[in-house]
Every structure is written in structure tokens, then in C-alpha cells.
Amino acid sequence: MTKKKANYGNSQTNERKTIKKLKRGFAYKLFYQLGVWTQNASLNDYYLAVSYTVRDRMQQLFINTIRAFQQKDSKIVSYLSAEFLMGPHLHNNLINLGIYDQVAQAAAESGLDLQQIIDHEEEPGLGNGGLGRLAACYLDSLASLEIPAIGYGIRYEFGMFDQAFDNGWQKELSDRWLQPGNPWEFKKADMAVEVGSGGYTEQYKDDHGKLRVRWVPGKLVKGIPYDTPILGYRVNTVNMLRLWSAEAPKSFDFAEFNVGDYLGAVHEKMLAETISKVLYPNDEQSHGKALRLYQQYFFVSCSMQDMIRIHLFQFENLDNFSDKFAVQLNDTHPAIAVPEFMRLLVDVHHYDWDSAWEIVTHTFAYTNHTLLPEALEKWPVAMLAGLLPRHLEIIYEINRRFLDLVRLEYPGDVDVVRRMSIIDETGERYVRMANLACVGGHAINGVAQLHTKLLKEHTLVDFHRLWPDKLINITNGVTPRRWMVVSNPRLSQLIRSAIGEEWITDLKKLQALEPLAEDSAFCEKWQQIKFANKQDICTMFACKQGPNYNPQALFDVQVKRIHEYKRQHLNLLHIVTLYQRLKNNPELDIPPRLFIFGGKAAPSYFMAKLIIKLINSVAEVVNGDPAVNKRLQILFIPNYNVQIGHIVYPMADLSEQISLAGKEASGTGNMKFAMNGALTVGTLDGANVEIREEVGAENFFLFGMNVGEVEARRAAGYNPQDIYNENKELHAAINLIATGHFSHGDRELFRPVIDSLLKHDPFMVLADYQAYVDCQQQVGEVFQDPQRWTRMAILNAARIGKFSSDRSITEYCRKIWQVKPFPVALTLQRVPDGGIKFPKRKEIVRT
Ligand code: 26V
């Protein structure tokens, strides 16, 4: 296909014309769309005016891409995810469109500061952390690689809560991200679909006398799609994020209204709207929460119906559905899609079971994102029976047929049948969503080599034995557009001037930086950039208790969800150890360090919240103590989110990736840090293993037990108390916390943390303590040799190419989805100057 690229305006006169048009665009949007004028426009009005102007420039591409979806030979990837942590759109869209400079100029000439406008955007925080952000990075790569794709999810009215601190404790505030208006979405009210719940199933004979089953739901809700364009980087592809919002169906209101029950109708409406109201924490046990299950079913049913509709625009029937759609299940949250698609095929489209199963299993693939046994989703059978009775019947039938196969494979082995069953019958009966996802798709993947290996050996060992080719690895990646170009303009500019621009779409090209690690002029510029990035954050968060933060200090950063397995408390024990050393020996020769934390705790996760309080309490004492605060400072940045990530990754010297080996599936922050030239202190866990392999062992600070050692230690009977008794420094650090040094003498406050560490220490913090402290000593020594540190940092960035999400997506396309790029021609659809001749209604084809 001949590919005509959008014209971004390069000649001088074009440039002027573009800027003029943009300026007029801002004014028109302000006046006509927002109905305000400069005298009474707020910053939000300006933000909206600029965003609408930019959005207009994406429209032609967006509409053309949708038209391309409708071509028979294009295959679409549907990425089903309960979370999409997109982060702010404006800056990213400017970069991907290639009009940042023109818009900045047009804004300046209009008396506006583009940076201020960019900073004003309320980010859509529709995700918890890594899993949701991965979905967002993958959408960026899919569009940039010109792969037709739709992200399907939920348009939560309240996304991830905002975190504030009250006396060091986390407080959750509701995230009203839609309040200021969302200029990036298009509501498609006429493309709503209906979704049922409850009710009963019944058998009936169809017109041909064939016995069939149908589900008669007790209630219906309407799913309304809101579409956000997802721009590829400098290509014509603009894919779509389609998020569903729940509303009560009109007919429902009227039924009750007519009998005079107005309040009842309003109540129903409220209940319906509750479905897409709020994002659940994903790191909290959820199997008691019917609303969470229904959220999952709601968006999955909307999305499957939507895909079927798109398919039937082009094809007679659904026989070739899996040639048109590859549907990826992002974790088990959308796994209910398996029985839902079976229901749609068998009950609604009247396929026989075997043909339907053939289509279903060729359509789906499942990504596993966790090794923690307690994180594997399961729903009580009783709950499913009430909410989705037909789906439960279908699940039982899938299971019956599947277990027949298992029995055939392993005659007489009742244990394997019990383990692999989709139904957990050990106590109260549950549906195991991971087993359902494994059975209902044609591929399963882990998200880092070590993770996949552990899935094969433990979590999914039986499935791997049954289907040895089904379980594969695709190591996660992140998008260099957002995590370098958008967030670190200084570094990106330096790299551009040194090696050109190709690395932005082909990250392996960063390798060309390697020789520059020996070039003193380049190293100096690299250092200046890191310093400038550090200065930014020092001005942004002036220290409340002690001296201002020192940009010369080693910026030692741990940003991620607060979780015991991620071991923020190991980091903290190191800090307390340094504090004590400095108190005992004021002459101690260590480089000044600023410890930076960021991250939210699930609202009901007591221990994680206590760890936040502990970090803030230690910060208060350390930052306020003149004997140490020139060399030791702590900053807990509240409300860590994508926007803060943009600031944090570029200024970090040291990236903390210190989870207990075998617990972190991959991690993706580790990649973002390394791209921005931070060195990693980490365990052999998740993607750290591969990062170390890529950047070289000599450029990575490794410590702690590996998975084998963790297992052996546990098998030998791990007793944290022994370590506490034997290790003097550790003993003293723990005692300092326990005796109330950081809690105004209160010995009770942090007792649960201390007790957990001394009695069970489930994540073996004490076992890795000494190795960590020793390794950090080495970190400090290397940091005192700035040339050496900088060389290592440059080599980290130069060798990080593997961790681009472009590489991950290319692997998904080849190994799982069997899709190829489908470049979009700009000629498919445009608005003719002379106006449009509208087709007759029946000819209108919608996607
Ligand atoms: C869920 C639960 C539920 C019950 C209590 C404990 C717990 C802890 C964690 C989770 C997270 C489940 C899924 C998830 O977010 N996984 C993350 O996915 C990222 C993208 O693949 C990956 O980089 C992270 O390592 C992984 O934790």
C-alpha cells in the first residue's frame, strides 16, 4: 500500500501558516465551544481550548484509521483490560503528532505558557500501577507500529484515589478527574449496548425444533462507549481506546415511572451507574465483591458485543471471527469473556458447542501478571449463580469437557483433576479465573523470563505439562515516547544531537551511545542534564523540616505501590542504619543521599499504610536533625502517578528494585529508570534479571538471595529472630524503631511492623538485610567517583533497547496474535472542500 504521511508542515511559510491556524484555533475554541472570552477564561478554559485545537488535528487520522478497521483484510487486536493508566494526553499527543514546537510558539504568541497548560491536565488515573500502565504503553506501541487495535475497558467516574498525608498517614481523596471536562473523549451514545444480570435460564425449542437455552436476565444496564484516539508516533494510525460507562436503560426508567414509582426509577438509575463508578484497588482481595465481578462482566460483554457488531458489518457470520480479531485478556479480570463469547455464539448466534469453542479458543489469549498465590482471582460459585446464571452453566460445561480431556491424559490421577479443575471444590466452591483463562485461549504468557519459568514450574505447572507449547514468555516493555521524549526533554535532545532520532522508534539504536561513555564532553553534558533535572525537583518540593534538598546528593528512589513484597521497609532499615552510623560517627565518609519514596497503599491494606506512616515518621526525625540532615534526607512525594513519574525517572541516580526474588512478576519502573540513566540496586527478580543481562553485571548493583536460595532458606526453617539476634546493626536499627525514637516515644505504633519482621518476616527482609546494606555501601563508593558513575549510567541507557514496548508488541504480534502492520492511507476519508453528500441512513456503517 502506498503510504502518504500526514503533512506536519516543515517549510518556513508552512510553519507560519500552521502557527497562525493554531492561534485562530485556540481563539475559536474558546469562543464557540467553551463560550468564554479572554477576560473571563480560566486556565482550565485555556487548557480545553488548546486541547480541542490539537484534537481537531488528529481527527482526520482517527477517522481514516477507523475506516481501515473496516477493510476485510485488516486484523484488529482487542486489548481487554480493567485498567488503562494513560496519564496526561496533551503533551504526549503533541509529541506523537510532531507539533509541539508550533503549538508552543502559537501559545506563546497568544500570551499562553504551554508548559503551564500541560501541567494543568488532570490525568486519567484509570489504573492501579504496573498492569494498567503496561496497557497504556502497549496502546502507544500498537499505534506507533501501525497495528489496528482497540483498547477496551471501563470509563470509571472515579479513578485511582488521590493520596494526601495527614500527620504522616495516608488519606484517600476521591479522584474527580472528569470534573474539569475531558476533551479527549467522544461519547458514542448511539452505539450503546445492553448487558444483563441475574434472572434465570430456560430451555425452549427454536423454529427448527432444536432445543436451545436462553438467559432471561432480571436486570439490564446500558453500556455507552466513550472513545479516545490513541496516536501513533509520527504515523497515520490513530487507534481507539473504547471505555464503557454504565447507564440505566430508558425503557427501564419509564416502566417504573409509568406506575408512578419515580423514586424507584431514580434508584434503579443510580444502581446502574454505580457499575462504572469507581476503580477497585487491584492488590486487594476481591472475591467477596459482587460489584467488582459485575464490572468485569459489564465491560467484557459490551466489548464482545461491539466486536461482533463490527465483524458482522463486513462478514455474513462469525465463522472467521478469529481471523478478524485477536483478543488479549490482560490478567484474569476480563476472563469472563470466555463464557460470555460462548453464550453469544451458542445462545444468540446459534452455533453448536464445538464450532463455538473452536472460535473462542482461537480468539483469546491470556497474560498472567502475578505469582502471588493470594492474587489469583476466584469468585464464589454462589455469587456467579445469582449474578450470571447462564455463564455458570457454561463454565460447568467447559469444565466438564476439559476434565474429560485431563482424565484421558492422566488416567486415574484424581489429584491432577482436582488441581486443574476450573472449580475449586476444597471448601466453599469457587471459580478459578486463571484456569478458565488458560483453558479458554490458545496462548498464555508470562511477563518476564523468570516469571514465565516460575509459572511453568509452579503456578501453572499442570497446564504447562498438558500443553507444553501454550505457555510462552513475552517480557514487558515501556514506551520510549512517553518515558523519554515526553518526560525527559533535556536528555532526549542530547541523545538526538549525538545519534539522531531513530532510537525513538527503534530503541536498540541507543547502542550508538556506548562509545560516548568514554567521551568526556558528552559525559559532562550528561551530568549537567541529570543535575538540572534534580534541581527541578528540589525547587518543586522544598524541604519542610531541614535544609533544602541538595541536588549534589545521590538521589535514591523507590516509586511503586506500597506492598510488603516490594520491601519498602528494607529500604527504610538501610536508612535507619545510615542514620545510626552518622550519629555514632559524624566524620563518616559517605556521599549525601536524598531518599525519595512514592506510592499508594490499597485503602484496606493496614500494613502498607503503616509502612507509609513509618517512612514519614523517620523522615520527620532525620530531616529535622542537624547532625545528619546535610547528608541524609528523605522525601515522600505524595500522590505518585504518571505525571509525577515524568518528573521522577529523569532525576533519579539510583533505582530501587528490591522485591524478594520470585515475587515481582516483572516490574516496569525498573526499565523507565534505566532508560533515563539511573543505575539499579536490585535482586534477581522479575525483569531485573534481564536488565542486568543487557546492561552488564558490572553496571548493576546486585544483592540478595536468588529464587533457589529463597526456597532453600525457607525449607531449612527460616527464623528471622536469629538474624536479629546476631546482626548488631540490624538489631539496633529495629530497636530504634521499636523503642519509639521515630514515634515520639510511642512503642506501640510500629509494633505490627516489628512483630511481622521478627516473627514471620514473610518477605525475608532480614535475610537480605546485610547483603543490601553492603551493596549500598558499594553504591555510595561508586557515586563518589562521578566519572565512573556517569559512564555506568550512559551504558545503562545505551543497552536498554530491549525494554521498549515496541519490542514486546512485535513479539505479541508474531507469537500470539498473528497480525501485521496495516498502514493507513490518508485517502480513505476526508472532508471535501465543497461539503459532503450524506449517504442514505441504511448505508451508514459505524464502528
Ligand atoms: C494483586 C493482589 C491481590 C491480592 C493481594 C495481593 C496482591 C498483590 C498484587 C496484585 C497484583 C496483580 C496484578 C498486577 O498488577 N501485576 C503487575 O503487573 C505488572 C505488569 O505486568 C508487572 O510489571 C508487576 O510486576 C506485577 O506486579
Question: pLDDT confidence of 257, banded at 50, 70, 90?
Answer: low
For residue 3, being part of any structural domain is answered with: no
**765 three-state secondary structure:** helix
- Report, as an integer, the average pLDDT of 641-653: 98
- Ligand 1 centroid distance, CA of 289 (Å): 18
Q: Residue 108 falls within a domain, yes or no?
A: no
Whether 254 shows a pLDDT value over 60: the answer reads no
pLDDT greater than 80 at residue 238: yes
Question: Residue 701, SS3?
Answer: strand
Based on the fold, state whether residues 442 and 579 are members of the same structural domain: no
Least confident of 64-78, 287-301, 588-602, 775-789: 64-78
Query: Which of 45-49, 159-163, 167-171, 370-374 is least confident?
Result: 370-374
Q: Both 180 and 290 in a single domain? A: yes
Query: How many residues in the chain?
Result: 847
Q: Side chain identity at 228, as an amino acid letter? A: T
| Sign, CA torsion 448/454/457/461 | negative
604: its cell numbers: 484496606
**pLDDT reported for residue 544:** 76
171 is catalytic: no
Q: What is the CA radius of gyration of the chain?
A: 28
CATH of the domain at 175: 3.40.50.2000
Can you tell me the distance from the alpha carbon of 466 to that of 133, in angstroms, rounded to the nearest whole number?
32
DSSP SS3 for 613: helix
- Considering the domain boundaries, does residue 652 fall inside one? yes
- By C-alpha distance, which of 327, 304, 324 is closest to 71? 324
**Residue 369, ligand 1, Cβ within 6 A:** yes
298 located within any domain = yes
* CA-closest candidate to residue 513, choices 638, 355, 695: 695
Stretch 533-540: mean pLDDT, rounded? 94
For a pocket test of ligand 1, which of 369, 444, 447, 562 has the largest count of ligand atoms closer than 8 A to its C-beta? 369
Q: What single letter denotes the amino acid at residue 73?
A: D
Confidence of residue 269 (pLDDT cuts 50, 70, 90): confident
One domain for residues 248 and 375: yes
The verdict on the CB of residue 670 being under 6 Å from ligand 1 is: no
Provide the pLDDT confidence category of residue 9 given band limits of 50, 70 and 90.
Answer: very low
- For 313, residues 6+ apart whose C-beta sits below 8 A from its C-beta are 70, 845, 846, 847
Helices (H), 503-605: 520-540, 568-584
User: In percent, how much of the chain has pLDDT > 70?
Assistant: 95
Q: How many helices (H) and strands (E) does the chain have?
A: 33, 23
Cα 521 to middle of ligand 1, angstroms: 42
C-alpha distances out from residue 388 to 264, 302, 676, Å: 23, 15, 47
Helix (H) / strand (E) element for 726: namely: helix 720-726
With cell 505518585, the residue in question is 640
Task: Tally Cβ neighbours within 10 Å of residue 425.
Answer: 10
Domain co-membership, 457 together with 555: no
pLDDT of residue 842: 52
Place of cell 539476634: 725
Q: 356 pLDDT exceeds 50?
A: yes
Q: How far is CA 363 from CA 344, 366, 754, in A?
A: 14, 10, 49
Q: Are 804 and 140 in contact, with CB atoms under 8 Å apart?
A: no
Query: Between the CA of residue 638 and those of 511, 519, 554, 559, what are the distances in Å?
Result: 36, 38, 20, 11
Nearest to 621 by CA among 568, 591, 576, 577: 576
- pLDDT band at residue 1, thresholds of 50, 70 and 90? very low
132 lines ligand 1 (CB under 6 A): no
Q: Is 476 in the pocket of ligand 1 (CB under 6 A)?
A: yes
Give the separation between CA 731 and CA 424, rounded to whole angstroms.
Answer: 44
User: What is the pLDDT, as a whole number, of residue 832?
Assistant: 64
Q: What is the pLDDT of residues 381-429, one digit of tens each?
A: 999 999 999 999 999 999 999 999 999 999 999 999 999 999 999 999 9
pLDDT of 3 reads 44
CA separation for the pair 272, 276 (Å, rounded): 8
Q: Is residue 2 predicted with pLDDT exceeding 90? A: no
pLDDT in the model for residue 222: 97
Say if residue 7's pLDDT is above 70.
no
> Which residue, 448, 474, 500, sits at the end of a domain?
474
Q: What percent of the chain has pLDDT over 90?
A: 89
47 part of a folded domain: no
- Ligand 1 lined by 686 (C-beta under 6 Å): yes
Cα 375 to ligand 1 centroid, rounded to whole Å:
7
Q: Which domain holds residue 624?
A: 551-785
Q: Residue 468 carries which side chain, given as an amino acid letter?
A: P
- In this predicted structure, the answer to whether residue 286 has a pLDDT above a threshold of 90 is no
Shared domain check, 368 and 227: yes
Residue recorded with cell 527464623: 719
Q: Would you place residue 249 in the very low, low, confident or very high pLDDT band (cuts 50, 70, 90)?
A: confident
Q: Are residues 447 and 583 in the same domain?
A: no
Asked if residue 168 belongs to a domain, the reply is yes
Residues 353 and 229 both lie in one domain:
yes
Read off the amino acid at residue 49: A
The answer to whether residues 444 and 587 belong to one domain is no
- 557 shares its domain with 467: no
Q: What is the pLDDT of residues 803-833, one digit of tens each?
A: 999 999 999 999 999 999 999 987 666 666 6
> Last residue of some domain: 438, 455, 474?
474
Secondary structure class of 151 (helix, strand, coil): strand
Q: Is 665 in the pocket of ligand 1 (CB under 6 A)?
A: yes
**378, 391, 560, 600: the active-site residue:** 560
For residue 249, what are the contacts with CB-CB under 8 A and spacing of at least 6?
194, 220, 221, 222, 272
- Of 447, 474, 501, the one marking the end of a domain is 474
Residue 18 confidence class, pLDDT cut points 50, 70, 90: very high
574-583 per-position pLDDT tens digit: 999 999 999 9
Q: Whose CA is nearest to atom 20 of ligand 1?
A: 131
A 10 A CB-CB count for 784 gives 13
Residue 668 annotated in active site: yes
Q: Residue 252 pLDDT more than 90?
A: no
Residue 821's φ and ψ, nearest 5 degrees, are -55, 145
DSSP structure string for 314-353:
H-SSSTTHHHHEEEEEESSTTTTHHHHHHHIIIIIS---H
The DSSP secondary-structure symbol of 53 reads: H
CA of 171 to the centre of ligand 1 (A): 22
Q: Give me the number of domains the chain comprises.
A: 2
Residue 6 falls inside a structural domain? no
Q: How far is CA 18 from the centre of its chain?
A: 35
What band does 679 get if pLDDT is binned at 50, 70 and 90?
very high
Q: Are 128 and 281 in contact (CB under 8 A)?
A: yes
Ligand 1 centre to CA of 371 (Å) is 8
Lowest mean pLDDT among 343-357, 534-548, 599-613: 534-548
What's the rounded mean pLDDT across residues 136-162? 98
What pLDDT was estimated at residue 270? Answer: 85
In whole numbers, what is the pLDDT of the chain averaged over residues?
95
Active site residue 333: no
Compute the distance between CA of residue 712 and CA of residue 661 in angstroms, rounded to an integer: 12
Per residue in 728-784, pLDDT (tens digit) is 999 999 999 999 999 999 999 999 999 999 999 999 999 999 999 999 999 999 999
The reply to whether 705 and 558 lie within a common domain is: yes
Q: Tell me whether residue 506 is in a domain.
A: no
Task: With beta carbons less than 8 A apart as the criterion, state whether 32 and 49 touch.
Answer: no
Is residue 600 domain-shared with residue 718, that is, in the same domain? yes
pTM check: above 0.75:
yes
Inter-helix orientation angle 250-258/262-274, to 10°: 160
Enumerate residues 6+ apart whose C-beta is below 8 A from 659. 565, 566, 567, 667, 683, 685, 686, 763
